[in-house]
Copies of this chain bind each other. A is one copy, B any other.
Amino acid sequence: MASKLLVDIHTHVYLPRYAALLRSRSAVPFIHHEPSGGRPVGPQYWDREEKLRFMDKHGIDVSVVSTANPWLDFLPPAQALTLATELNEDLEGYCSTSPNVPDVPIKRLYGFGLLPLVPEITTASLLDTVKQISKLPHLRGLIMGTRGVGKGLDDEALDPVWAAIEEAGLVVFIHPHYGVDVKAWGDKDNGHVLPLALGFPFETTTAATRLILSGVFDRYPNLRLLLAHSGGALPQLSSRLASCIDHDPVVASRLKHDARYYLGKLYLDAVAYGPEELGFVSDVIARSARYEAGASVAEAANRSLGSQRMLFGTDHPFFPPLSSTQKWKSVVENLEAIDAVQGWTQADKDGVCGGNAVSLFNLVQ
């Protein structure tokens, strides 16, 4: 039964306490009272009933909800710590009081907590928050951006945090916010297309690559990192990355494995909108074994096995439909893409739709 659940692991919320903070601000980030250039922000961002209605409309049984970007990045350390602690409690309440899935002893909502990842925060504050999250029964991981405590995720200052997260068995959802320098997009008005379609995945790709290069996966081999948007461009650039490392003996000597090995240690959401992308991502995960076992490049990657680290997501409440009565095209497209992947069995597809999330987040005990 649980193997047939549809579980959305990429779905965001601005909890009321967080939305109120954004509403009280006059500098970015803030919520406009009236639409005036910013993204329209409405109750779908904070109202749990809206989330459940969205889930019902698309047949989603369970959502593992995360605070949307920019999280707490803009706050001073004391306020970030207080708010992280409060928002984690809030999210626990949001989930624990949600309805059960009919006939399955689980809730419809689980969550990713927040750490106060801002400059000048103490390691103790970060570790205390990891501990808090690990004790809240409906939080099963945490979401973070790519800046860490200011210098990125490859900063050794985070090593005690990775160690604590690994020990606690929490899943880390790595999600973009900053993109790249807007000068890359040129003078033309293309709306938000370039920063969303390219800037977000570039940022995730860079963060994950810097993590690989820093040896975090060698030091914390049981760390469970989930990358947004199917890892951005990391899968397509991973053999190029391996080649560039190969040609730099200093960098190469720091790593235990070929760069492609580490992609098999990751979890990637299935938010890529096309079946060819999803099939390819599963190939790239599966070929990790080649770089562990010394198999030949001529041996086909076991795409079916690779699918076991991929998880359905919607990116709700972003990418809403142009008309409010429709199903969301962004959701329908991702489900159709999963269904159309060549070489995935029905069991693989069921896994990507929910079974893998049930295992990863230990939803059915």
Contact = CB atoms under 8 A, between A and B. Distances in A.
Interface in A175-228: 180-181, 183-188, 190-194, 196-198, 201-203, 205-206, 209-210, 213-214
B194 A209 contact: yes
A333 interface: yes
A329 B239 contact: no
A241 to B, nearest CB: 4
Interface string A74-86: 0000000000000
A181 B178 CA distance: 13
A244 B297 contact: no
A276 B283 contact: yes
Contacts of A152: 186-187
Interface string A124-163: 0000000000000000000000000001101000000000
Nearest to A191: B248
Contacts of A296: 340
A251 B210 contact: no
B287 A276 contact: yes
B194 A210 contact: yes
A284 B196 CA distance: 20
B300 A251 contact: no
A235 interface: yes
A349 interface: no
B273 A193 contact: no
Contacts of A260: 274
B190 A329 contact: no
A317 interface: no
Contacts of A246: 329
Contacts of A238: 274, 277
A233 interface: yes
Contact of A251 (B190, B242, B298): B190
Contact of A206 (B185, B205, B209, B241): B185
A4 interface: no
A233 B201 contact: yes
Contacts of A230: 236
Given A193-B251, A275-B298, 20 more contacts: A151-B187, A154-B188, A180-B202, A181-B184, A186-B210, A188-B213, A190-B213, A190-B248, A197-B241, A197-B244, A230-B236, A239-B274, A239-B337, A246-B329, A247-B320, A247-B322, A274-B297, A276-B301, A296-B340, A297-B337
18 contacts: A151-B187, A154-B186, A180-B181, A185-B206, A188-B214, A190-B248, A192-B244, A193-B244, A194-B209, A197-B243, A198-B241, A232-B233, A233-B233, A239-B272, A240-B273, A243-B329, A277-B280, A280-B280
